[in-house]
Structure 1
Amino acid sequence: MVKLAAKCILAGDPAVGKTALAQIFRSDGAQFQKNYTLTTGVDLVVKTVPVPDTADSVELFILDSAGKELFSEMLDKLWESPSVLCLVYDVTNEQSFTNCSKWLEKARSQIPGITLPGVLGNKTDLAGRRAVESAQARAWALSQGLECFETSVKEMINYEAPFHSLAKQFHHLYQEKLEVFQALV
């Protein structure tokens, strides 16, 4: 049984549901707040995620960062050496989807030349006012090497899936590195 630790960057524009997603995940669906204050810096959420089909787990240290500080020095320090990335956008806000490219570029610039496992998630609470179609988001995510998830914290739909995927991806990279190391010994 192996317990790994992964630094997870939760990124996206302001008011796209990052904090709600992190909080509902941490509380296993028990804590949905209707009113959130905008994150002004960074909140830390820690949760251990079991890796399916193994006895292993990944402890995710989720850095929920304020969306308005895309290029601040504070984020540069906190974002150093991320293990995994969770991008979030709101399906009713096309600009929040477009800006995911900038968030992804910023995260990847922290570890040049290294694969950064990631997911693209969204807030579908107001799907009736959707501006970004699911197929468009999936196609972009695939082109960037990311998995894509439709989530709704409000409706309690699929809110765990992005984090379980990240844990599984991180564990897979660990296994690959372990195999390379064992082949050298």
Structure 2
Amino acid sequence: MVKLAAKCILAGDPTVGKTALAQIFRSDGAHFQKNYTLTTGVDLVVKTVPVPDTGDSVELFILDSAGKELFSEMLDKLWESPNVLCLVYDVTNEQSFTSCSKWLEKARSQMPGATLPGVLVGNKTDLASRRVVESAQTRAWALGQGLECFETSVKEMENYKAPFHYLAKQFHHLYREKLEVFQALV
């Protein structure tokens, strides 16, 4: 039984639901914050995720970072050497999806030449009548960037675990690959 630790960057524009996603994941659906407070730096959420069929687990250190450019320079140091990335956008806000390119570029610049497993998460699917960003559009973009795509409604507690479980599984897979290479050298 192996317990790994992974640094997960949670990125996206302000008000897309990053903090709500992290909080509800940490509390297993028991805590949905109705009152919104703008994250002004970084909040740390830690949660252990079991990796199916292995007996292993990954402790995700989720850095829930501010979405405002104002805090961008402060984040640079905290964003160093991430293991996995969770990009979040709001399905009712086209600009929040467009900004994902910028967030992805910023995260990947911290790990030049390395593989950075990631997910793209469309939040607020409960606001279906206000939706402006289509699933097919985001899925195509995500696949083109090597990301897995998820949609969620944190408010309705729908599919909020899936992105993090996927990231833990991907991180574990990379670990196993590196371990095999190392064992082949010995």
Q: TM-score range by the shorter chain?
A: over 0.9
Shift of residue 122, structure 1, vs aligned partner: 2.8
SS in 2 for 1:145: coil
In structure 2, list runs of 5 or more residues that go unmatched. Answer: none
Give the CA deviation at 1:73. Answer: 2.0
Distance 2:76 2:180 in 1: 32
Cα distance, 1:116–1:70 mapped onto 2, change above 3 Å: farther
| Cα deviation 1:30-65 (Å, max 9, x = unaligned) | 001211201011100000000011100000000000
Q: Is the 8 A contact 2:40 2:71 kept in 1?
A: no
CA deviations over 1:85-117 (Å, ceiling 9, x no partner) = 000000000000000000000000001000000
* Aligned length in residues: 185
SS in 2 for 1:71: helix
* Post-superposition offset of 1:70: 7.1
Q: Is the CA contact 1:70–1:103 (under 8 Å) kept in the aligned structure 2? A: no
Moved over 6 A (4+): none
Instruction: For 2:70 and 2:129, locate their aligned partners in 1 and report how far apart those are by CA, in whole Å.
Output: 29
Indicate if the aligned counterparts of 1:69 and 1:75 stay in contact, CA closer than 8 A. Answer: no
Unmatched runs of 5 consecutive residues or more in structure 1: none
CA shift, 1:72, in A, is 2.3
Distance 1:70 1:108, change over 3 A: farther
14-23 vs 113-122, which moves further = 113-122
Conserved in 1, the CA contact under 8 Å of 2:123 and 2:154? no
Normalised to the residue count of structure 2, the TM-score between the two structures is 0.97
User: What is the identity percentage for the equivalent residue pairs of Structure 1 and Structure 2?
Assistant: 92
Match of 1:161 in 2: 162
